[in-house]
Structures are given as C-alpha cells and as structure tokens.
C-alpha cells in the first residue's frame, strides 16, 4: 500500500458502519489471511468456496489486527460481546474490490491488462519484463492473481509511483472479466487467444470470446487492444470492440524460421534479438511489443528491452536440461487449445528428436470432455509424439482413443492410475536425446512427475 486511508475514509468509501474504531486512525496494511497477517493490518473476512474469514477473526486479533471488515451476522456469537474494532459491510469480498477500484482511480500511470484462454501469465511476465526495463518500479500481477480476489490484491499492493501496471485478468464465469475490467480500468490491453477454456461454465468458444471481450468494459474509447490475427471468433471480438469504441490491432504469426537468425526476428522494419527460443512464447512477445509501440515507446528502446529480457515462468514450457535428455515442464494448467499449441510448438522446436508426452486430464470441459481429449490424443500423433504416458481417471482413455484412431502405436500409449507405476514404466523407456513434455490441468497435479524426476 502506497496510499494510506483513514478509517473514516474507508467507512465512506465502503458505505459501511464502524464500531470501536477511531475514524482518524490510518489503515497501514491489510490482510485476507490470518496466518500471514502482520501486526496492525486490517483483516478482511473474505468468503471463498472452501473457507470463510469470519471463522478466523480470533486468530487475526491475536496477530494484532487493527480492525476487521466483516458481515455483522457472520461474526461468531462468542465474539459479539467483545468491543471488536469493526468495519461492518454487506459483503467483504465486494468491499475489497471497491477499495481496489478507488486505489486504481488515483493511479496516473498506464495500466496494461491481459486476458485470454492461454498464455496470459507468460505474456504478462514478458510485458512486465519489458516495462521494467523502461521503469524499474513497473508492477505486475504476482503469480496468477487474476480473479475476483487476486486482481484487487494486485492493485492494493501496487506501487503508485510506477509508470506501468501490468494486470492479468482471468475468468470462469460470465461477467467476471467485465466486472474486473471496470475495477482495473485498463488504458490498453491484450487478448492472447480464444480457446476451449472453462467450457463447463462458458458453454462454447463463442461464449469464451464474449467473456474475453468483457475486457473492453472498463476501457476508454480509442484505447489500444492487441490480438493475434488468427484469433478464434475474430468477428465477434471486433464487433464488441467497435461497440465499445476500442481500437483493435492484429499481429501476424512470425515465420517458423526467421531469416535474421535463430535468436533474431524482424518487427516494425527493425531487427530484434531475444533469448526466447519457443515459437509460442515469441508470439506472446510480439503481442507485448506491439502494444508498447502503440503506447508510444520508441522502437529503439523496445529493441534494448527485448535483448535484456530474461523469462522464467515455472510450469509454463520450462525447459529443464537433464544429463542427456530434455524435460519440459508445462504442468501449470491445460485446456484443449493450449495443449494443441504446445504440441505444435514442441514439433517445431524438436523435429528430429523422439518426443514423449506425460499427461494428466483436462478439467472443466463439461459434456465435451471426451471429444476434446480424443482430439488432443489425435494431435499428439500428428505432431510426431512417439510415446504417451497418461495418469488419472477415465479421461485418459479418451486420449488413448484419439491416439489409436490417428494411427499411433497401440502399445506406445498407456494409462496409469498410480504415479509410482508410471515412473517405473517411464524410466524403463527413456532414451538419450528424448524430449519429454509434461502437461495437465491443475487438478491433475502433474508437477508430481516433474518433482520425482528432478
């Protein structure tokens, strides 16, 4: 927090009542987790799917909370007779978002927002790396804090003196991106792609496109938004942008082999140099560079920023060089479009090597789950994967069905229910020069395989 609020200001901002608190006192910090809060923090009783902060008020007070933001009737009966320092609201989660929106309104720098089905976090990290070259105080979303709780936490922790904020916005329900955009009020943005993400909630890729177009809700007319020219449902997104008055710029795919050299590419009629060797991540780099160029950053500075950019994103196409083989950790998450992109990327990067996929299931696909798993199994074969080790439930059988239907070897793809069995079989199969991709949804916890191999 770089701006301090009095309790009186908080009361007015949140349309709240206060008890046992001096309205002239300052809020010097805040927390939503009693385990990590510091002495003097204001404790928000956030309600989540599996927890309720009202159950941890005692622990927060023991840690030295200066006050609690709570729903009156949700405060435990045993605490109601105490003189609790309280800001009483109808919804602490909404109160956190309202506070963040007020902090954002006072920021005078540029706010660059990123959304999309895949590649949000890697694009955010690329854009943040470029911006930090231009301004060391540039602030970005930590990790993947991109939801109704994560976005407000990002804003409330941001540096007001920075020139750039880079904020990732995610969703798994209709209307979430629009509401978050109204809080973030992006001055410019990127939509990385439209794919089969959260179909259990969004229904179809057209539903995904409509939801991602919610990015425009909090933007001023003529704000810049960059998208790839291959974006699915491009017309739908462009129509939403036109309705909002937002200016769309489309980027083209880089050629697979740059004439300028392996670590060089041409953009804005200039030659750029980068340490990023993944074609997939390079496309995200192009999106980021195009946005900054539109926002007025000179190409000469962009070239220097690109040359200095170092990208390390754990669990996102992270290449780990073993003694005589390569492990690619892409375990952070998976959906059909991201899986397809990564497989195509793998084939482009390692056309001559034997490729192995160790995979878990893809979650939140609803009734379309079997078909999408079959399509990914098909894509594995078409992208030159020679062996597949699947770990998990019945969905793995659909990977296998797609694999076999596309001509994959019947014994080259196997289904395992236990990690120990998979590890035993994998180690017996591994050869020198192999490239091994590990991928699955968060619920599959495929990082277990990576940790075991390391």
* Res 259: pLDDT: 45
* Res 410: pLDDT: 86
Residue 426 CB partners (closer than 8 Å, separation 6+) = 356, 358, 389
Both tokens assigned to 367: 């009734």
Domains and CATH numbers, the chain: 5-91 (3.40.1390.10), 107-308 (3.40.1190.10), 318-453 (3.90.190.20)
Closest CA to 297 of 265, 306, 216, 273: 306
Return the sign of the alpha-carbon dihedral for residues 253, 258, 261, 267. negative
Stretch among 26-30, 99-103, 245-249, 400-404 having the lowest mean pLDDT: 26-30
- Segment 283-309 shows an average pLDDT of 96
Q: Which tens digits make up the pLDDT trace of 237-275?
A: 999 999 999 999 999 876 544 444 468 899 999 999 998
- Segment 365-389 shows an average pLDDT of 94
* Res 69: pLDDT: 97
In 10 A of CB 380, how many CB atoms? 29
The C-alpha atoms of residue 454 and residue 315 are separated, in whole angstroms, by 14
In 10 A of CB 27, how many CB atoms? 21
* Res 256: pLDDT: 47
Arithmetic mean of pLDDT over the chain: 92
181, 216 contact by CB (below 8 A): yes
- Segment 102-123 shows an average pLDDT of 94
Q: Which tens digits make up the pLDDT trace of 74-91?
A: 999 888 778 889 999 999
Burial class (CB in 10 A: 0-12, 13-18, 19+), 427: exposed
121, 142 contact by CB (below 8 A): no
CA-CA-CA-CA torsion for 187, 190, 196, 197, nearest 10 degrees?
A: -50
- Segment 398-417 shows an average pLDDT of 94
Residue 9 CB partners (closer than 8 Å, separation 6+) = none
- Segment 198-226 shows an average pLDDT of 90
pLDDT at 376 over 60: yes
Q: Which tens digits make up the pLDDT trace of 135-175?
A: 999 999 998 899 999 999 999 999 999 999 999 999 878 89
* Res 380: pLDDT: 96
pLDDT at 197 over 80: no
Question: What are the distances in angstroms from CA 183 to CA 99, 151, 187, 206, 242?
Answer: 9, 9, 12, 24, 21
Closest CA to 309 of 168, 445, 123: 123
333 or 210: which leads in pLDDT: 210
Q: Helical H runs in 23-115? A: 57-62, 92-105
pLDDT at 105 over 50: yes
Both tokens assigned to 158: 């941001």
* Res 186: pLDDT: 98
Rg (C-alpha) for the chain, rounded Å, is 24
Strands 247-251 and 264-267, by their bridges, are unpaired
Q: In what order do the strands lie in the sheet with 224-228?
A: 139-140, 164-168, 110-115, 188-191, 224-228, 247-251
Residue 330 DSSP label:
E
Residue 142 CB partners (closer than 8 Å, separation 6+) = 154, 157
């Amino acid at each position: 927090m770089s701006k301090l609020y009095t309790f009186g200001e908080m009361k007015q901002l949140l349309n709240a009542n206060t008890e046992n608190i001096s309205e002239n006192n300052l809020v010097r910090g805040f927390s939503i987790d009693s385990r990590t809060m510091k002495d003097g923090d204001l404790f928000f009783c956030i309600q989540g799917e599996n927890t309720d902060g009202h159950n941890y008020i005692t622990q927060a007070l023991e840690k030295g909370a200066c006050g609690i933001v709570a729903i009156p009737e949700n405060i435990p009966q045993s605490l109601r007779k105490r003189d609790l320092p309280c800001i009483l609201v109808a919804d602490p989660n909404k109160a956190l978002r309202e506070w963040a929106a007020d902090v954002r309104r006072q920021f005078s720098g540029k706010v660059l927002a990123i959304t999309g089905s895949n590649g949000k976090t890697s694009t955010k990290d690329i854009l943040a790396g470029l911006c930090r070259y231009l301004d060391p105080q540039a602030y970005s979303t930590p990790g993947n804090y991109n939801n109704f709780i994560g976005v407000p936490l990002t804003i409330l922790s941001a540096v007001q003196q920075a020139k750039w904020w880079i904020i990732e916005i995610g969703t798994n329900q209709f209307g979430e991106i629009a509401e978050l955009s109204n809080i973030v009020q992006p001055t410019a943005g990127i939509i990385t792609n439209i794919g089969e993400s959260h179909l259990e909630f969004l229904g179809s890729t057209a539903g995904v496109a409509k939801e991602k177009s919610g990015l425009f809700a909090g933007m001023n007319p003529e704000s810049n938004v960059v998208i790839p020219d291959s974006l699915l449902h491009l017309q739908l997104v462009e129509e939403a942008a036109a309705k909002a008055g937002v200016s769309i710029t489309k980027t083209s795919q880089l050629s697979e082999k740059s004439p300028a050299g392996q670590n060089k590419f041409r953009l804005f009629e200039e030659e750029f140099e980068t340490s990023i060797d993944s074609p997939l991540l390079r496309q995200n780099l192009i999106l980021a560079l195009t946005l900054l160029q539109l926002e007025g950053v000179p190409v000469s500075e962009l070239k220097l920023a690109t040359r200095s950019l170092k990208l390390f994103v754990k669990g996102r196409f992270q290449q780990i060089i073993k003694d005589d083989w390569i492990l690619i950790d892409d375990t952070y998450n998976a959906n059909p479009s991201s899986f397809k992109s990564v497989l195509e990327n793998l084939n482009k990067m390692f056309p001559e090597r034997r490729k192995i996929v160790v995979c878990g299931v893809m979650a939140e696909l609803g009734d379309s789950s079997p078909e999408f798993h079959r399509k990914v199994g098909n894509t594995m074969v078409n992208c030159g994967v020679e062996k597949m080790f699947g770990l998990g439930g019945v969905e793995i059988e659909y990977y296998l069905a797609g694999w076999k239907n596309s001509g994959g070897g019947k014994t080259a793809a196997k289904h395992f229910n236990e990690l120990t069995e998979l590890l035993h079989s994998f180690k017996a199969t591994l050869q020198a020069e192999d490239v091994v991709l590990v991928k699955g949804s968060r619920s599959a916890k495929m990082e277990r395989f990576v940790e075991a191999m390391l």
